[in-house]
Amino acid sequence: MVEPDMVRVLGRSAFHDTSLTSSGDLTYLGGEWRREVAFAGFDVAIQMDISAEKMLFGVSGVDPKRRAELIKVLDIDLSWRMHKVSDGQRRRVQICMGLLKEFKVLLLDEITVDLDVLARADLLTFLKKECEERGATIIYATHIFDGLENWPSHIVYVAHGKLQLASPMEEVKKMSNLSLMRTVEQWLRKERDEERKRRKERKANGLPEFDRRVDGTRVTGDPVRVVNNGWAAGRLNSTVAGEENFVYSSNRVIRQ
């Protein structure tokens, strides 16, 4: 948790002012509608025998014209049953639900992954119009750059935990004659090569490839992978006797 004045949205603390989201000024659309089912599995799609129409028209305080426009933009069939739709169709309903009410700031995290080319293009056009006509601000985190050449007003690139670039799109275009996708590809290849060089130098000097902290504990060696969070699915029984949590690596266990 950062200090209240370190990250602010609309002049309010992003992590402390809950009215940002409860008011609808700040909206977030990210991962798919998924849940964990005890004794069955993780990352299970949320499915229920309900129509898209009942979901979309069950939200109160929505401008009917805005709802109709979103249904058209996302090409939603109101007769869809949510337990029978595809991942792409479920994602369209999810996006529509998230955009029914007007926002001032919208955070998007890889929201167009399951959309086809046409639906993605129409959605991006709608979002651009939101900025131009209502003065909204949209931050879109993505690894898919097709069709984004003329969409963003600014580009932000973060690598190694630091801000590498924050420029208007026009400035980014002047930096390279390549497309946005090829430009980003160059950045990522350079980042990967630098990381490989750093790891090679550390190895040559007898240092571990990685040196970082996990939950405040200094960790060296190979990257750790959480394979057991200490609790059995669907039960409040620890699966590691006498301990709350473990992080397992390839050659040792690190107590948190």
Tens of pLDDT, residue by residue over 166-197, are 999 999 888 888 888 888 899 999 999 988 99
| Same domain, yes or no: 138 and 231 | no
| Same domain, yes or no: 62 and 129 | yes
Q: How much is the pLDDT for 250?
A: 42
User: Could you tell me how far CA 111 lies from the centroid of its own chain?
Assistant: 7
| Same domain, yes or no: 70 and 194 | no
| Same domain, yes or no: 170 and 234 | no
Within a domain: 93: yes
DSSP secondary structure of 5-69: TTSEETTEETTT-THHHHTSSEEEE-S-SEEEETTTEEEEEP--S-BHHHHHHT-SS--HHHHHH
- The tally of domains found in the chain comes to 3
Residue percentage of the chain with pLDDT more than 70: 75
Q: How much is the pLDDT for 129?
A: 94
Sign of CA dihedral 114, 117, 120, 122: negative
pLDDT in tens, 123-181: 999 999 999 999 999 999 988 888 888 899 999 998 888 888 999 999 988 888 888 88
| Same domain, yes or no: 49 and 133 | yes
| Same domain, yes or no: 98 and 133 | yes
Q: How much is the pLDDT for 2?
A: 85
| Same domain, yes or no: 44 and 133 | yes
Within a domain: 244: yes
| Same domain, yes or no: 176 and 78 | no
For residue 75, what is the domain's CATH number?
3.40.50.300
Within a domain: 216: yes
| Same domain, yes or no: 166 and 98 | no
Cβ atoms of residues 182 and 189 within 8 Å: no
How many residues are listed for the chain in this entry? 256
CA–CA gap between residue 67 and residue 93 (Å, rounded): 11
CA–CA gap between residue 185 and residue 237 (Å, rounded): 46
Cβ atoms of residues 26 and 104 within 8 Å: yes
Q: Which two tokens stand for residue 65?
A: 């014209």
CA–CA gap between residue 225 and residue 88 (Å, rounded): 30
| Same domain, yes or no: 51 and 107 | yes
Mean per-residue pLDDT, 117-121: 90
Kindly report the number of other CB atoms within 10 A of residue 128's CB atom.
15
pTM above 0.85, yes or no: no
Cβ atoms of residues 34 and 46 within 8 Å: yes
pLDDT in tens, 194-237: 889 988 888 888 877 655 555 555 555 554 444 455 555 555 45
| Same domain, yes or no: 17 and 122 | yes
User: Could you tell me how far CA 115 lies from the centroid of its own chain?
Assistant: 15
Residues 88-93: contacts with CB under 8 Å, at least 24 apart: 88/114, 88/115, 88/116, 88/119, 90/32, 90/33, 90/45, 90/114, 91/32, 91/115, 92/119, 93/52, 93/55, 93/56
| Same domain, yes or no: 180 and 256 | no
Q: How much is the pLDDT for 242?
A: 46
Q: Which two tokens stand for residue 156?
A: 């932000």
DSSP H or E stretch at residue 249: none
- What's the domain range around 236? 209-256
